[in-house]
Structure 1
Amino acid sequence: MKVGFQAGYWGSGPPAKVEQRLHEAEALGVDSFWTAEAYGSDAFTPLAWWGARTSRIRLGTSVAQISARTPTATAMAALTLDHLSGGRVMLGLGASGPQVVEGWYGQPYPRPLERTREYVEILRSVWERREPVTYEGRHYRLPHPGGTGLGKPLRSTVHPLRPDIPVLLGAEGPKNVALAAEIADGWIPLWFSPRSDAFYRDALHEGFTRPGARRGPEDFEVAAVCPIVEHDDVEVAARRIKPMIALYAGGMGAKDANFHTEVFARMGWGEVCAEIQGLYLAGRKEAAVEAVPTAMVEDVALVGPVDKICEEIARAWRPTCVTTMILAGWPRSEARGRILEAVRG
């Protein structure tokens, strides 16, 4: 199993100590570095800025939202950064949710799987550069069929360094996970629980066995984001992650359209999620955070003393379908080496 490090979302400004931690991560042989976007900072600019300070570590978006950019714009950003980094880019993509897509980007959300499939097909057409790009889909058409009528098929002026930049899909539901296994080079789970491994393996198998599937389980990357807080006190560590879980399970989406809530419900936390969501949507955010049980945190995160974390990695995480653990957090220096070695096995 490989190790990744995630800078995550920005708050009101850039997260602290990213450059220092990234320097340490590369020196320790960490395999990959990842950035994210929601409706504040974007994923590509920080990846380029911080990635310029590195020479070996792979650079990934976890994830870039497909509604934020046209497929050709995303293809341009990825191929540009791939050139500048010497072929180290991994393009993580996600459909996001209706609140962000329609509220922030002003784009329609329905049929996200179909939109994702078309999006990825256009990306690959740009990178392969075999001919000017044309596309006739339900959601994307190149050239645009209306307007002035002067649009014409174009081919990228830049020859991609790699005509096959890895694409990973951020996905939570079984249909999205199966789509990732069918058309992508990897899958980025959010709120992955080792207890759900069999469920996800079944979804991946569904995608791998579809006609024309791009890869099989032997060469498919599963890069799971895993929050980590290393601290001698489990409760203190868990409290640092509870606000994030409360936000995702309670406030990230509408009452009847929250994909993160569905993930936790499949783990058996349905009633707890209903309580968290009710409190969060009523404006009682602190109470929603208090309603998150520590056991719920431990299902999806690594919290507590270094011995506990290393034991859980070996016992619970390493036997799963995960091939890369993206650590959303940076352990203390005295524990860092042990945790990284526990992941690598």
Structure 2
Amino acid sequence: MKLGLQLGYWGAGPPDNVGELVAAAEESGFDAIFAAEAWGSDAFTPLAWWGSSTSKVRLGTSVAQLSARTPTNCAMHTLTLDHLSGGRAILGLGVSGPQVVEGWYGLPFEKPLARTREYVSIVRQVLARAEPVRNDGPHYPLPYNGPGASGLGKPLNSITHPLRPDVPIWLGAEGPKNVALTAEIADGWLAIYYSPRLAPMYNEWLDEGFARAGARRSRADFEVAATCQIIVTDDRDAEIERLKPLIALYVGGMGAPELNFHAQVYRRMGYEAEVAEIGRLFQEGKKSEAAAVVPAEMVSETMIIGDEARVREEIDGWAAAGVTMLLVSCRDAAAVRTVAGLVG
């Protein structure tokens, strides 16, 4: 089992202890560090800034939003980071949701699967640098020849030669079609709210993608990085209570009531009634009441919480379910070292 340190995205300002977290992760044998973006801080700059003090950990976006930048621009970011880090970049991509895509980026959310397929294809063309980049698909036509085009656009190759033509591309995916697409075209899956109990269902989705003609990888060389809080404590119940508002936020507030991918994940786990009630209360502004509806199991089956013996046992269970990396958040350097000591 590998470990990845999730730095996440910023709130009102940058966190003040990231440097010490990254240093502890490097020293403790973490495989990678990841940065995210929502509608504030971006995913690439923190990796370049804090990653510059590292020499071993891989540097990944988890996730860079497709609508935040064109595929060629994303490839530019990626090849630049890969050069500066000596070949340690991981490009994690995700479609985000309609509230962000249409409300923040001012772009249509339609056909996310088709957009993802085209986007990844173009990024790979840039990184391969085998020939000038072309794309005939409807979402990212290159050269552009639609309304307003000058007619002067021509296919181009990157001026900068990528350090690696095969930088790993991982996709953040939650639904069955998106997970199958991930197994078909990507090098890894960034899974959020993964539940080992549902591993047989996830494996069916993945196997569908692996079986497609032209699939890039097989299960043997495909990475499954699951976001998972690991909390070592002798008071498990108290930690679960502390985390209930976070679950309520993502289920009830991170997405439109009509389309919330996080809520759909928990519905698949069997929490249909709870998700409906959490969503209703959250939309009414009753956040504390929404958190009170979250059952303990809704927290514990997507996170690892308990004393050292329990944590070690559950980590083994996640590994047996097919997870190759646990993507964890840590409060301080001591927590980083504690988690590292439990994974072997």
Smaller-chain TM-score range? over 0.9
Q: CA deviation at 1:338?
A: 5.8
Letter in 1 for 2:330: G
Q: Partner residue of 1:4? A: 4
CA distance in 1: counterparts of 2:132 and 2:115, whole angstroms? 21
- The CA distance in 1 between the partners of 2:34 and 2:338, in whole Å, is 22
Whether contact under 8 Å (2:230, 2:339) holds in the other structure is no
* 1:226–1:326 Cα contact (<8 Å) kept: yes
Cα distance in 2 for partners of 1:273, 1:114 equals 29
Residue 160 (structure 1) shift: 0.2
Identity %, equivalent residues: 56
1:3-48 Cα shifts (integer Å, max 9, x gaps):
1111112111112311101101111111110111111111001111
* Correspondence 1:1-345 to 2 at 5 A: 1-146=1-146, 147-314=149-316, 316-330=317-331, 333=334, 339-344=339-344
Question: By how many angstroms is 1:340 displaced?
Answer: 2.7
Higher mean Cα deviation, 265-274 or 207-216? 265-274
Q: Could you tell me how far apart the structure 2 residues matched to 1:265 and 1:133 are?
A: 41
State how far apart, in whole Å, the 2-side matches of 1:39 and 1:306 are. Answer: 37
- Rounded to whole Å, the distance in 2 between the matches of 1:248 and 1:313 is 24
1:313-340 CA-to-partner distances (Å, cap 9, x unmatched) read: 22x212111111111225773x765643
Partners of 2:83 and 2:337 lie apart in 1 by: 32
Question: Residue 142 of structure 1: SS of its match in structure 2?
Answer: coil
Give deviations 1:68-101, integer Å, cap 9, x for gaps: 1000000000000000000000000001111111
> Post-superposition shift, 1:59?
0.5
| Higher mean displacement: 5-14 or 193-202 | 5-14
2:134 touches 2:143 (CA, 8 Å); kept in 1?
yes
In 1, Cα distance between the equivalents of 2:333 and 2:186?
A: 35
Deviates most, 80-89 or 292-301: 292-301
CA separation of 1:289 and 1:16: change in aligned 2, threshold 3 A: farther
2:308, 2:342 within 8 Å by CA — same for their partners in 1? Answer: no
User: Once the 2 structures are TM-superposed, how far is the Cα of residue 305 of structure 1 from its aligned partner?
Assistant: 2.8
**Superposition RMSD on alpha carbons, in Å?**
1.5
Q: Which runs of 5+ in 2 are unaligned?
A: none
User: Structure 2: how far apart are the matches of 1:235 and 1:37?
Assistant: 31
Calculate the TM-score normalised by the size of structure 2: 0.96
* CA–CA separation in structure 2 for the residues paired with 1:154 and 1:213: 27
- The offset of 1:209, in angstroms, is 0.4
Question: Match of 1:152, SS?
Answer: coil
User: Which stretch has the larger CA shift, 324-333 or 252-261?
Assistant: 324-333
Q: Is the 8 A contact 2:17 2:332 kept in 1?
A: no
Q: Secondary structure at the match of 2:270?
A: helix
- Taking a change above 3 Å as real, the CA distance of residues 30 and 225 of structure 1, as seen in their structure-2 partners, is same
Moved more, 317-326 or 10-19: 10-19
Alpha-carbon displacement from aligned partner over 1:201-234 (angstroms, at most 9, x marks no partner)? 1100000000000000000011111123333211
Instruction: Specify the code of the residue in structure 2 equivalent to 1:41.
Output: S
**CA offset digits 1:144-182 (Å, max 9, x no partner):** 104222211111100000011110000011111100000
How many residues end up aligned between the 2 structures?
342
Q: Which amino acid aligns with 1:38?
A: A
Counterpart-to-counterpart distance in 2, 1:329 and 1:298: 17
